[in-house]
Amino acid sequence: MSNTVKVAITGAAGQIGYSLVFRIASGELFGPDTKVVLSLLEIPQAVTALEGLAMELNDCAFPTLAGIEINSDAEKGFDGVNWAILVGAKPRGPGMERNDLISENGPIFTGQGKALQRGASDVRAVVVGNPCNTNALIAAKNAGDVPFNRFSAMTMLDENRARYQLAAKAGVAVTEVQNVTIWGNHSATQYPDFFNATIGGKKATDVISDHDWLKGDFITTVQKRGAAIIKARGKSSAASAANAALDHVKNFHFPTPDGKWFSAAVPSDGSYGVEEGLMFSFPIRTKDDGSYEIVQGLDHNEFAKEKLAKTEAELKGEREIVKDLL
Ligand code: NAI
Protein backbone atom coordinates (compact mmCIF):
# COMPACT_ATOMS: atom_id res chain seq x y z
CA MET A 1 0.00 0.00 0.00
CA SER A 2 1.19 3.49 -0.82
CA ASN A 3 2.00 5.32 2.37
CA THR A 4 0.11 8.42 1.33
CA VAL A 5 -3.68 8.29 1.47
CA LYS A 6 -5.80 11.03 -0.05
CA VAL A 7 -9.07 11.60 1.75
CA ALA A 8 -11.88 13.81 0.45
CA ILE A 9 -14.39 15.21 2.93
CA THR A 10 -17.48 16.99 1.65
CA GLY A 11 -19.23 19.45 3.92
CA ALA A 12 -15.88 19.93 5.64
CA ALA A 13 -16.83 23.35 7.00
CA GLY A 14 -19.83 21.91 8.85
CA GLN A 15 -20.07 20.64 12.42
CA ILE A 16 -19.07 17.05 11.70
CA GLY A 17 -16.28 18.25 9.41
CA TYR A 18 -14.77 20.31 12.21
CA SER A 19 -14.65 17.27 14.49
CA LEU A 20 -13.36 15.01 11.73
CA VAL A 21 -10.54 16.70 9.87
CA PHE A 22 -8.12 17.22 12.76
CA ARG A 23 -8.34 13.61 13.85
CA ILE A 24 -7.66 12.37 10.32
CA ALA A 25 -4.78 14.82 9.86
CA SER A 26 -3.26 13.78 13.20
CA GLY A 27 -2.54 10.27 11.91
CA GLU A 28 -5.14 8.66 14.16
CA LEU A 29 -6.93 7.04 11.22
CA PHE A 30 -4.18 5.37 9.17
CA GLY A 31 -1.36 5.34 11.70
CA PRO A 32 1.85 7.35 12.18
CA ASP A 33 3.62 5.94 9.10
CA THR A 34 0.97 6.98 6.59
CA LYS A 35 0.82 10.52 5.30
CA VAL A 36 -2.58 12.04 4.60
CA VAL A 37 -3.58 14.56 1.95
CA LEU A 38 -6.92 16.16 2.80
CA SER A 39 -9.21 17.30 0.01
CA LEU A 40 -11.83 19.54 1.58
CA LEU A 41 -15.04 20.22 -0.35
CA GLU A 42 -17.78 22.72 0.28
CA ILE A 43 -20.40 24.77 -1.48
CA PRO A 44 -18.90 28.03 -2.89
CA GLN A 45 -20.27 30.19 -0.03
CA ALA A 46 -18.33 28.11 2.52
CA VAL A 47 -14.95 28.06 0.78
CA THR A 48 -13.66 30.97 2.88
CA ALA A 49 -14.52 28.99 6.01
CA LEU A 50 -12.46 26.11 4.57
CA GLU A 51 -9.52 28.48 4.15
CA GLY A 52 -9.74 29.22 7.87
CA LEU A 53 -9.95 25.50 8.61
CA ALA A 54 -6.82 24.90 6.51
CA MET A 55 -4.97 27.59 8.51
CA GLU A 56 -5.87 25.80 11.73
CA LEU A 57 -4.85 22.42 10.32
CA ASN A 58 -1.48 23.85 9.28
CA ASP A 59 -1.08 25.42 12.70
CA CYS A 60 -1.32 21.98 14.30
CA ALA A 61 1.96 21.07 12.50
CA PHE A 62 0.85 17.44 12.26
CA PRO A 63 3.76 15.27 11.03
CA THR A 64 1.31 13.09 9.07
CA LEU A 65 -0.45 15.88 7.15
CA ALA A 66 1.12 16.01 3.70
CA GLY A 67 -1.20 18.53 2.02
CA ILE A 68 -4.56 20.27 1.98
CA GLU A 69 -6.67 20.99 -1.09
CA ILE A 70 -9.79 23.15 -1.08
CA ASN A 71 -12.49 22.90 -3.72
CA SER A 72 -16.11 23.61 -4.44
CA ASP A 73 -15.96 21.55 -7.63
CA ALA A 74 -16.47 17.88 -6.77
CA GLU A 75 -14.65 16.61 -9.84
CA LYS A 76 -11.49 18.48 -8.85
CA GLY A 77 -11.94 17.60 -5.20
CA PHE A 78 -12.24 13.88 -5.90
CA ASP A 79 -9.24 13.73 -8.21
CA GLY A 80 -7.08 10.78 -7.15
CA VAL A 81 -8.77 10.25 -3.76
CA ASN A 82 -8.60 6.88 -2.01
CA TRP A 83 -11.39 7.58 0.46
CA ALA A 84 -14.35 9.95 0.06
CA ILE A 85 -16.27 10.77 3.22
CA LEU A 86 -19.50 12.34 1.98
CA VAL A 87 -20.81 14.40 4.87
CA GLY A 88 -22.13 17.47 3.04
CA ALA A 89 -25.91 17.59 2.78
CA LYS A 90 -28.70 20.02 3.50
CA PRO A 91 -30.13 19.76 6.99
CA ARG A 92 -33.85 19.19 7.46
CA GLY A 93 -35.56 22.60 7.55
CA PRO A 94 -38.57 23.62 9.67
CA GLY A 95 -41.70 21.71 8.66
CA MET A 96 -39.77 19.55 6.24
CA GLU A 97 -40.77 15.89 6.06
CA ARG A 98 -38.20 13.11 5.71
CA ASN A 99 -39.40 12.53 2.14
CA ASP A 100 -38.76 16.21 1.28
CA LEU A 101 -35.22 15.83 2.62
CA ILE A 102 -34.70 12.75 0.47
CA SER A 103 -35.78 14.65 -2.65
CA GLU A 104 -33.72 17.74 -1.70
CA ASN A 105 -30.48 15.92 -1.01
CA GLY A 106 -30.68 13.29 -3.76
CA PRO A 107 -29.32 15.51 -6.55
CA ILE A 108 -26.18 16.32 -4.51
CA PHE A 109 -25.30 12.63 -4.63
CA THR A 110 -25.96 12.13 -8.36
CA GLY A 111 -23.35 14.84 -9.00
CA GLN A 112 -20.92 13.39 -6.49
CA GLY A 113 -21.29 9.85 -7.88
CA LYS A 114 -20.48 11.13 -11.38
CA ALA A 115 -17.56 13.18 -10.09
CA LEU A 116 -16.15 10.18 -8.23
CA GLN A 117 -16.22 8.14 -11.41
CA ARG A 118 -14.37 10.82 -13.36
CA GLY A 119 -11.88 11.81 -10.69
CA ALA A 120 -10.98 8.76 -8.67
CA SER A 121 -9.72 5.44 -9.99
CA ASP A 122 -9.32 3.51 -6.75
CA VAL A 123 -11.80 4.87 -4.28
CA ARG A 124 -14.02 3.87 -1.41
CA ALA A 125 -16.83 6.17 -0.43
CA VAL A 126 -18.86 6.38 2.74
CA VAL A 127 -21.99 8.50 2.94
CA VAL A 128 -22.72 10.20 6.25
CA GLY A 129 -25.10 12.93 5.00
CA ASN A 130 -28.71 11.94 5.54
CA PRO A 131 -30.66 10.00 4.45
CA CYS A 132 -27.32 8.21 4.17
CA ASN A 133 -28.42 4.78 2.90
CA THR A 134 -30.40 6.20 0.02
CA ASN A 135 -27.83 8.89 -0.74
CA ALA A 136 -25.18 6.16 -0.95
CA LEU A 137 -27.41 4.23 -3.36
CA ILE A 138 -27.78 7.33 -5.54
CA ALA A 139 -24.04 8.03 -5.56
CA ALA A 140 -23.22 4.39 -6.38
CA LYS A 141 -25.77 4.23 -9.21
CA ASN A 142 -24.30 7.38 -10.77
CA ALA A 143 -20.67 6.34 -10.46
CA GLY A 144 -20.47 4.37 -13.71
CA ASP A 145 -17.75 1.78 -13.53
CA VAL A 146 -16.75 2.36 -9.90
CA PRO A 147 -17.76 -1.01 -8.37
CA PHE A 148 -21.04 -0.90 -6.44
CA ASN A 149 -19.41 -2.43 -3.37
CA ARG A 150 -17.01 0.52 -3.04
CA PHE A 151 -19.95 2.53 -1.64
CA SER A 152 -21.28 2.29 1.89
CA ALA A 153 -23.32 4.33 4.34
CA MET A 154 -22.56 4.92 7.99
CA THR A 155 -24.45 3.08 10.72
CA MET A 156 -21.44 2.92 13.04
CA LEU A 157 -22.78 5.73 15.23
CA ASP A 158 -25.89 3.64 15.84
CA GLU A 159 -23.73 0.63 16.70
CA ASN A 160 -21.63 2.67 19.14
CA ARG A 161 -24.79 4.07 20.73
CA ALA A 162 -26.17 0.55 21.09
CA ARG A 163 -22.93 -0.77 22.59
CA TYR A 164 -22.92 2.00 25.18
CA GLN A 165 -26.55 1.31 26.17
CA LEU A 166 -25.89 -2.42 26.62
CA ALA A 167 -22.68 -1.78 28.59
CA ALA A 168 -24.43 0.71 30.89
CA LYS A 169 -27.33 -1.68 31.52
CA ALA A 170 -25.00 -4.61 32.22
CA GLY A 171 -22.66 -2.46 34.33
CA VAL A 172 -19.58 -3.40 32.30
CA ALA A 173 -16.98 -1.55 30.23
CA VAL A 174 -18.08 -0.81 26.68
CA THR A 175 -15.19 -2.94 25.38
CA GLU A 176 -16.96 -6.02 26.79
CA VAL A 177 -19.85 -5.50 24.37
CA GLN A 178 -19.21 -6.93 20.91
CA ASN A 179 -20.97 -7.81 17.68
CA VAL A 180 -23.98 -5.54 18.03
CA THR A 181 -25.35 -5.34 14.51
CA ILE A 182 -27.42 -2.46 13.21
CA TRP A 183 -29.64 -3.89 10.49
CA GLY A 184 -31.27 -1.82 7.76
CA ASN A 185 -31.71 1.91 7.51
CA HIS A 186 -29.96 4.65 9.49
CA SER A 187 -33.34 5.89 10.70
CA ALA A 188 -35.90 5.20 13.38
CA THR A 189 -36.71 1.84 11.72
CA GLN A 190 -33.19 0.46 12.19
CA TYR A 191 -32.96 -2.79 14.12
CA PRO A 192 -30.18 -2.84 16.77
CA ASP A 193 -29.69 -6.59 17.19
CA PHE A 194 -29.03 -7.61 20.78
CA PHE A 195 -29.86 -11.29 20.20
CA ASN A 196 -26.58 -11.90 18.37
CA ALA A 197 -24.51 -9.52 20.54
CA THR A 198 -22.13 -10.66 23.27
CA ILE A 199 -21.18 -9.17 26.62
CA GLY A 200 -17.96 -10.48 28.13
CA GLY A 201 -18.08 -13.34 25.62
CA LYS A 202 -21.59 -14.47 26.70
CA LYS A 203 -24.88 -13.92 24.91
CA ALA A 204 -26.19 -10.44 25.76
CA THR A 205 -29.61 -11.99 26.49
CA ASP A 206 -27.99 -14.20 29.16
CA VAL A 207 -26.17 -11.29 30.80
CA ILE A 208 -29.11 -8.85 30.73
CA SER A 209 -32.14 -10.57 32.23
CA ASP A 210 -34.52 -7.65 31.60
CA HIS A 211 -35.68 -8.78 28.16
CA ASP A 212 -38.57 -6.32 28.16
CA TRP A 213 -35.98 -3.54 28.29
CA LEU A 214 -33.98 -5.11 25.45
CA LYS A 215 -37.04 -5.45 23.24
CA GLY A 216 -38.45 -2.06 24.19
CA ASP A 217 -36.50 0.86 25.64
CA PHE A 218 -33.11 -0.34 24.41
CA ILE A 219 -34.24 -0.38 20.78
CA THR A 220 -36.17 2.88 20.93
CA THR A 221 -33.35 4.68 22.78
CA VAL A 222 -30.91 3.76 20.00
CA GLN A 223 -33.40 4.55 17.24
CA LYS A 224 -34.21 7.97 18.70
CA ARG A 225 -30.82 8.94 20.12
CA GLY A 226 -30.21 11.51 17.39
CA ALA A 227 -33.44 13.34 18.22
CA ALA A 228 -32.66 13.21 21.97
CA ILE A 229 -29.28 14.86 21.34
CA ILE A 230 -30.84 17.60 19.22
CA LYS A 231 -33.37 18.25 21.99
CA ALA A 232 -30.68 18.46 24.69
CA ARG A 233 -27.86 20.15 22.79
CA GLY A 234 -29.85 22.29 20.38
CA LYS A 235 -27.71 20.89 17.55
CA SER A 236 -27.38 17.47 16.00
CA SER A 237 -24.68 15.03 17.07
CA ALA A 238 -21.37 15.99 15.53
CA ALA A 239 -18.33 14.78 17.50
CA SER A 240 -19.87 11.33 17.98
CA ALA A 241 -20.78 11.20 14.28
CA ALA A 242 -17.22 12.17 13.31
CA ASN A 243 -15.88 9.54 15.69
CA ALA A 244 -18.10 6.92 14.08
CA ALA A 245 -16.94 7.98 10.61
CA LEU A 246 -13.35 7.30 11.72
CA ASP A 247 -14.41 3.91 13.07
CA HIS A 248 -16.17 3.16 9.78
CA VAL A 249 -13.11 3.94 7.64
CA LYS A 250 -10.79 2.03 10.01
CA ASN A 251 -13.16 -0.95 9.95
CA PHE A 252 -12.94 -1.15 6.15
CA HIS A 253 -9.24 -0.30 5.97
CA PHE A 254 -7.91 -2.91 8.41
CA PRO A 255 -8.79 -6.64 8.60
CA THR A 256 -11.44 -7.41 11.21
CA PRO A 257 -10.16 -9.44 14.19
CA ASP A 258 -11.31 -13.08 14.29
CA GLY A 259 -14.77 -13.61 15.69
CA LYS A 260 -15.80 -9.96 15.40
CA TRP A 261 -17.81 -7.88 13.00
CA PHE A 262 -19.04 -4.32 12.56
CA SER A 263 -22.10 -2.59 11.11
CA ALA A 264 -22.23 -0.71 7.83
CA ALA A 265 -24.78 -0.23 5.09
CA VAL A 266 -23.52 -1.90 1.91
CA PRO A 267 -25.26 -3.08 -1.28
CA SER A 268 -27.30 -6.17 -0.42
CA ASP A 269 -26.29 -9.36 -2.23
CA GLY A 270 -29.55 -11.00 -1.14
CA SER A 271 -28.14 -12.11 2.25
CA TYR A 272 -30.80 -12.72 4.92
CA GLY A 273 -33.47 -12.38 2.21
CA VAL A 274 -32.88 -8.62 1.82
CA GLU A 275 -33.60 -7.53 -1.75
CA GLU A 276 -30.41 -7.45 -3.79
CA GLY A 277 -29.12 -3.95 -4.48
CA LEU A 278 -30.67 -2.16 -1.48
CA MET A 279 -28.13 -0.19 0.59
CA PHE A 280 -28.81 -2.09 3.82
CA SER A 281 -26.84 -2.21 7.05
CA PHE A 282 -25.46 -5.69 7.76
CA PRO A 283 -22.80 -7.32 9.95
CA ILE A 284 -19.55 -6.94 7.99
CA ARG A 285 -16.02 -8.34 8.17
CA THR A 286 -13.04 -6.96 6.29
CA LYS A 287 -10.79 -9.69 4.94
CA ASP A 288 -6.98 -9.73 4.80
CA ASP A 289 -7.04 -8.85 1.08
CA GLY A 290 -8.99 -5.64 1.81
CA SER A 291 -12.33 -6.87 0.45
CA TYR A 292 -15.26 -7.36 2.79
CA GLU A 293 -17.95 -9.96 3.36
CA ILE A 294 -21.40 -9.93 4.92
CA VAL A 295 -21.33 -12.23 7.95
CA GLN A 296 -23.58 -15.22 7.29
CA GLY A 297 -25.52 -17.56 9.49
CA LEU A 298 -26.85 -15.26 12.23
CA ASP A 299 -30.25 -16.35 13.52
CA HIS A 300 -33.33 -14.17 13.41
CA ASN A 301 -36.42 -15.07 15.39
CA GLU A 302 -39.92 -13.79 14.53
CA PHE A 303 -39.33 -10.58 16.54
CA ALA A 304 -36.19 -9.83 14.52
CA LYS A 305 -37.74 -10.82 11.19
CA GLU A 306 -40.55 -8.35 11.72
CA LYS A 307 -38.04 -5.55 12.43
CA LEU A 308 -35.96 -6.44 9.37
CA ALA A 309 -39.05 -6.41 7.16
CA LYS A 310 -40.05 -2.97 8.45
CA THR A 311 -36.67 -1.33 7.82
CA GLU A 312 -36.37 -3.03 4.41
CA ALA A 313 -39.81 -1.71 3.44
CA GLU A 314 -38.74 1.80 4.44
CA LEU A 315 -35.62 1.60 2.27
CA LYS A 316 -37.68 0.39 -0.69
CA GLY A 317 -39.99 3.36 -0.16
CA GLU A 318 -37.03 5.78 -0.14
CA ARG A 319 -35.68 4.17 -3.30
CA GLU A 320 -39.05 4.71 -4.96
CA ILE A 321 -38.91 8.45 -4.15
CA VAL A 322 -35.52 8.84 -5.85
CA LYS A 323 -36.04 6.34 -8.69
CA ASP A 324 -35.48 9.03 -11.32
CA LEU A 325 -31.98 9.63 -9.90
CA LEU A 326 -30.84 6.00 -10.00
P1 NAI B 1 -23.76 21.00 8.92
O2 NAI B 1 -24.98 21.67 8.36
O3 NAI B 1 -23.04 21.58 10.09
O4 NAI B 1 -22.68 20.81 7.76
C5 NAI B 1 -23.02 20.35 6.49
C6 NAI B 1 -22.09 21.05 5.52
O7 NAI B 1 -22.31 20.48 4.24
C8 NAI B 1 -22.33 22.54 5.41
O9 NAI B 1 -21.13 23.24 5.70
C10 NAI B 1 -22.76 22.72 3.95
O11 NAI B 1 -22.29 23.94 3.39
C12 NAI B 1 -22.12 21.51 3.30
N13 NAI B 1 -22.72 21.09 2.03
C14 NAI B 1 -24.01 21.10 1.65
N15 NAI B 1 -24.14 20.69 0.39
C16 NAI B 1 -22.91 20.40 -0.05
C17 NAI B 1 -22.39 19.94 -1.29
N18 NAI B 1 -23.18 19.71 -2.33
N19 NAI B 1 -21.05 19.75 -1.39
C20 NAI B 1 -20.24 19.98 -0.34
N21 NAI B 1 -20.67 20.45 0.84
C22 NAI B 1 -21.99 20.65 0.98
O23 NAI B 1 -24.22 19.49 9.21
P24 NAI B 1 -23.49 18.38 10.07
O25 NAI B 1 -23.98 18.45 11.45
O26 NAI B 1 -22.03 18.41 9.81
O27 NAI B 1 -24.16 17.06 9.44
C28 NAI B 1 -23.92 16.72 8.09
C29 NAI B 1 -24.82 15.57 7.67
O30 NAI B 1 -24.54 14.40 8.43
C31 NAI B 1 -26.32 15.83 7.85
O32 NAI B 1 -26.99 15.33 6.69
C33 NAI B 1 -26.67 15.00 9.04
O34 NAI B 1 -28.03 14.63 9.03
C35 NAI B 1 -25.77 13.80 8.84
N36 NAI B 1 -25.54 12.98 10.02
C37 NAI B 1 -25.45 11.62 9.82
C38 NAI B 1 -25.22 10.77 10.85
C39 NAI B 1 -25.14 9.29 10.64
O40 NAI B 1 -25.05 8.55 11.64
N41 NAI B 1 -25.14 8.76 9.41
C42 NAI B 1 -25.07 11.28 12.23
C43 NAI B 1 -25.12 12.72 12.35
C44 NAI B 1 -25.36 13.52 11.26
ipTM for this model: 0.98
> Would you list which residues are annotated within the binding site?
11-17, 92, 98, 105, 112, 128-130, 161
pLDDT at 291: 96
At 103-137, the pLDDT tens digits run 889 999 999 999 999 887 789 999 999 999 999 99
Position 2 confidence tier, pLDDT thresholds 50, 70, 90: low
pLDDT at 1: 46
Residue 232 has pLDDT above 80, yes or no: yes
At 141-183, the pLDDT tens digits run 999 999 999 999 999 999 999 999 999 999 999 999 999 999 9
> Would you list which residues are annotated within the binding site for substrate?
92, 98, 130, 161
What residues pair up with 39 in beta bridges, in sequence order?
Answer: 8, 69
pTM value is 0.97
At 86-99, the pLDDT tens digits run 999 987 777 777 78
Residues enclosing ligand 1, CB less than 6 A? 10-11, 13-17, 41-43, 46, 87-91, 108, 128-130, 132, 154, 157, 186, 236-238, 241
Residue 58 has pLDDT above 50, yes or no: yes
Residue 9 has pLDDT above 70, yes or no: yes
186 is catalytic: yes
CA of 88 from ligand 1 middle (Å) equals: 4
In the chain, the N- to C-terminal Cα span, in Å, equals 33
What b/e readout covers 270-288, taking b as 16+ CB neighbours within 10 angstroms?
ebbebeebbbbbbbbbbee
